[in-house]
Chains A and B, each alone.
Chain A
Amino acid sequence: GRWSRAAAQQKLTEADLLDMAPHGNVTLVHITDIHAQLKPLYFREPSINLGVGEVAGLPPHVTGADFLKLYNIRPGTPHAYALTSEDFEALARQYGKMGGLDRAARIVKRIRDERGDSMLLLDGGDTWQGSYTANKTLGADMVEVMNALKPDAMTGHWEFTYGTDRVKELVDSLPFAFLGGNIYDAEWNEPAFEAYRIFERGGVKIGVIGQAFPYTPIANPRWMFPNWSFGIRETDVAKNVEAVKAEGAELVVLLSHNGFDVDRKLASRVPGIDVILTGHTHDALPEPVKVGDTLVIASGSNGKFVSRLDLDVRDGKVKGYSYRLIPVFSDVIGSDPEVAGLIDKVRAPYEAELGRKLATTESLLYRRGNFNGTFDDLICQALLAERDAEIALSPGFRWGTSLLPGQDITVEDLHNACAMTYPAAYRSPMTGQLIKDILEDVADNLFNADPYYQQGGDMVRVGGMGYRIDPTAAIGSRISEMTVLKTGEAVKPDREYVVAGWASVNEGTEGPPVWDVVEAHLARNPVVRLEENRSVKVTS
């Protein structure tokens, strides 16, 4: 197929990436989880992404060489680099950075030119958060740049962490729909956002239903948007599918931030959804996953990919499709001058600070993966040292860009790993039992055998302590062998340990912003060198 054809080519061209024989009468373009990344970047895909229960061994729970085999991708090829962590450093040097919203804009505009009024551009959310400039402008930079791509609809997750008033202000300013059929007013139980919108494209009526991240008030601070309640609300999804059909929709699309496994389960239980454009779990899959008659599309994160799904819709049915997950190779895809100019404009006030060098890394820095990445280790080391703690806890966010050995660590790079609106680095005593309870709780949110009980983050990162985890066990018995690394002693349930961490969801959390903590640590340690983290042992 096209993967082996692309793989056979030594030199990739824009035409290789973008040329696609048009199919049918509707084109959906999907981009998701950009996390405010306007510029080209490195982003290492996970080397470990375990699935439990029914999804064990199924995509997206396939990584590395297994992934390459499953999708018939040759090692060392551009697509191997884009989609896996295999030989990442060498391939990153060979194929360069990925993403950049000016490149994505060029792809979108080209598809729009080809497909005219047959195209819908849908943004899966986690768009406005994750960078220094997004934090400084409270998302305004992303809104301005994304508007130039002319999306037709979006949904959200981290967007809500700008707080109720800011979210309302930005949503009201959008020249397109912000959809969230699963967001309710917490007091009167009434819909708080538009649930769906019907579009007509290529003569086809398309019902797009928005599904925001169901566990936003749990994974993120509820106090920032206390009047909004979320949830999967499967029955509401089903009702909205019926509603758009009743209004004449011939194609039903769920623009979802549920996460892959939740959407796979939803597709198996709610009839009538033709396409789920999934997000949140940051999976990039080169082919749709079919669940019954539903196509589930996973378009990656950080602007690395743009998905194009051509559909042949006739008599209210999808008769055929053609799909391409377009990897945005920054050195191959041209830059859209209008959007490049906008990106320069929104960054200009911050350019000097963004480029300020904090340190140099001699190790590959990355986060994505079920357990500690090296960038997490760096943050944990900073928390332990600068906050004088015995144990550090750092959240398992799936965003955060990668740096290659030899690269400078700039203010921008640091903020790409921790830019958020609740950055306080707390320092508090916790008993060994409480630390275990936290690990068990987070592990269950990641490895519960029922996807509806998962939250889609990775395991909390730990510094100063090692442990063993059995993902397939039940809550309360997954975590064992908790050990203080410095002394080799077992963590005692009754003893109190000084714990430093960040991104607490509790209101009133005190401490300096985590980026100040890491910056202070880098000032003292201007050359970063990290050993591979072997402190988490996984029982399989």
Chain B
Amino acid sequence: MATPKPRIKVPSKAAKGEVVTIKTLISHEMESGQRKDKEGKPIPRKIINKFTCTFNGQPVFSCDLAPAVSANPYFEFTAKVMESGTFEFTWVDDDGSTYSAKNKITVQ
């Protein structure tokens, strides 16, 4: 499997105290652990099991994922921004790998 690639949609500017919408996607098969290969052997589970979003180091939103979340997990949520800073997004894979992305936002 190719290295999962995150994609983010965050506005680059916001007013102080504004609630902004954040959308994230990451390419990942989310192998459920319930499928079988051609020989009938179970395909081992390999999913993104945790997603977190922080702003300037403070937790904003996170999610624990079960195999019932679709391939290429999508999250849409909001954040209230009081100051300029950086969103940091992290996805944790079953094999321990983590994938991350950052987005800056300027508060005017």
Contacts and interface: CB of A to CB of B under 8 A. Distances in A.
Interface string A206-240: 00000000000000000000000000000000000
Contacts of A188: 9, 23, 25
A189 B22 CA distance: 12
Contacts of A187: 25
A188 B74 CA distance: 9
A215 B102 CA distance: 37
Interface string B65-76: 000000000101
Interface string B87-103: 00000000000000000
A222 to B, nearest CB: 15
A188 B25 CA distance: 8
B76 A189 contact: yes
Interface in A427-444: none
A205 B23 CA distance: 35
A188 B24 CA distance: 9
A189 B25 CA distance: 11
Contacts of B74: 189
B5 to A, nearest CB: 13
Interface secondary structure of B, over-half rule: strand
A188 B23 CA distance: 7
Interface residues of B, number: 5
Interface string A168-188: 000000000000000000011
Contacts of B9: 188
A43 B74 CA distance: 47
A21 B76 CA distance: 53
Interface string B1-41: 00000000100000000000001010000000000000000
Interface string B40-69: 000000000000000000000000000000
B73 to A, nearest CB: 13
Interface in A478-496: none
A187 B25 CA distance: 9
A488 to B, nearest CB: 40
Contacts of A189: 23, 74, 76
A190 to B, nearest CB: 9
A188 B8 CA distance: 10
B33 to A, nearest CB: 26
A539 B51 CA distance: 53
A64 B25 CA distance: 54
A187 B70 CA distance: 12
A189 B9 CA distance: 11
A180 to B, nearest CB: 21
Nearest to B72: A187
Interface string A187-206: 11100000000000000000
A188 B76 CA distance: 9
A473 to B, nearest CB: 30
A187 B74 CA distance: 9
Nearest to B25: A187
Nearest to A188: B23
A187 B23 CA distance: 10
Contacts of B25: 187-188
A98 B23 CA distance: 52
A528 to B, nearest CB: 48
B26 to A, nearest CB: 12
Contacts of B76: 189
B50 to A, nearest CB: 22
A296 to B, nearest CB: 34
A414 to B, nearest CB: 42
A188 B9 CA distance: 9
B54 to A, nearest CB: 22
Contacts of B23: 188-189
A178 to B, nearest CB: 25
Interface in A262-310: none
Interface of B: 9, 23, 25, 74, 76
Q: Which 7 A-B pairs have the closest CB atoms?
A: A188-B23, A189-B76, A188-B9, A187-B25, A189-B23, A189-B74, A188-B25
7 contacts: A187-B25, A188-B9, A188-B23, A188-B25, A189-B23, A189-B74, A189-B76
